[in-house]
């Protein structure tokens, strides 16, 4: 009979030890998750920079014949940054990625889904003050609307 009592006691000690390990593991996982969230939040704040205004492109896809386009910002050193897609006969506001350095010159490039020449804009200079660009693909005309109105 003592054997049974001893076995029960040993079994409860083993269960208690497993519970302690599980709770410690839970604490470690929770601390790691909080640390990872903090790291993500701090990296995000570093990327946005201090007060830089976005560059917005209001694109009118009025190509004939109608075609989907994929739009890129291409810097002078040839780096292409995806801005977005615009379906045929639609208008869309697109944001130029914030990693285009202020003061750098880039062109907007609209590539059609069909095999034909892309539409390439005139050079544009990035600025920290933000910029709104209207771009009509059919005429390849760019203008800068007055933001104060």
Q: What is the pLDDT along the chain (149 residues), one digit of tens a residue?
A: 555 555 555 555 556 666 766 766 666 666 666 766 665 554 444 444 445 789 999 999 999 889 999 999 999 999 999 999 999 999 999 999 988 888 899 999 999 988 789 999 999 999 888 889 999 999 999 998 875 54
Count of domains in the chain?
2
Spell out the residues 6+ positions from residue 58 whose beta carbon is closer than 8 angstroms to its own: 91, 92, 93, 94, 132, 133, 134, 135
* CA 67 to each of CA 70, 111, 114: distance values in angstroms, whole numbers, following the listed order: 10, 9, 7
Rounded CA-CA distance 140/49 in Å is 32
User: Would you say 73 and 83 are in contact if contact means Cβ atoms under 8 Å apart?
Assistant: yes
Note down the domain range covering 138: 53-143
Establish if 7 belongs to a structural domain: yes
Q: What is the pLDDT of residue 8?
A: 52
| CA-CA-CA-CA torsion sign (118, 124, 127, 129) | negative
Residues 37 and 11 in one domain: yes
Verdict on whether the full-model pTM lies above 0.85: no
103: Cα within 13 Å, side-chain hemisphere: 0
Establish if 80 belongs to a structural domain: yes
Residues 69 and 44 in one domain: no
Establish if 149 belongs to a structural domain: no
Residues 27 and 83 in one domain: no
Domain containing residue 81: CATH number: 2.60.40
- Cβ count near 133 (within 10 Å): 18
Residues 68 and 112 in one domain: yes
User: Would you say 81 and 99 are in contact if contact means Cβ atoms under 8 Å apart?
Assistant: yes
Establish if 134 belongs to a structural domain: yes
Q: Write out pLDDT tens, residues 61-76.
A: 999 889 999 999 999 9
């Amino acid at each position: 009979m003592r054997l049974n009592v001893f076995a029960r006691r040993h079994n409860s000690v083993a269960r208690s030890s497993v519970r302690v390990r599980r709770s410690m593991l839970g604490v470690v996982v929770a601390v790691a998750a909080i640390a990872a969230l903090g790291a993500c939040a701090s990296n995000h704040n570093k990327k946005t920079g201090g007060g830089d205004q976005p560059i917005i492109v209001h694109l009118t896809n009025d190509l004939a014949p109608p075609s989907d386009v994929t739009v890129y910002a291409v810097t002078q050193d040839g780096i292409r940054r995806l801005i977005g897609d615009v379906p045929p006969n639609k208008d869309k506001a697109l944001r130029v990625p914030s990693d285009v350095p202020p003061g750098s010159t880039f062109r907007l490039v609209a590539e059609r889904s069909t095999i034909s020449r892309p539409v390439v804009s005139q050079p544009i200079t990035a600025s920290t003050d933000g910029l709104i660009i209207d771009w009509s693909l059919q005429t390849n005309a760019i203008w800068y609307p007055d933001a104060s109105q």
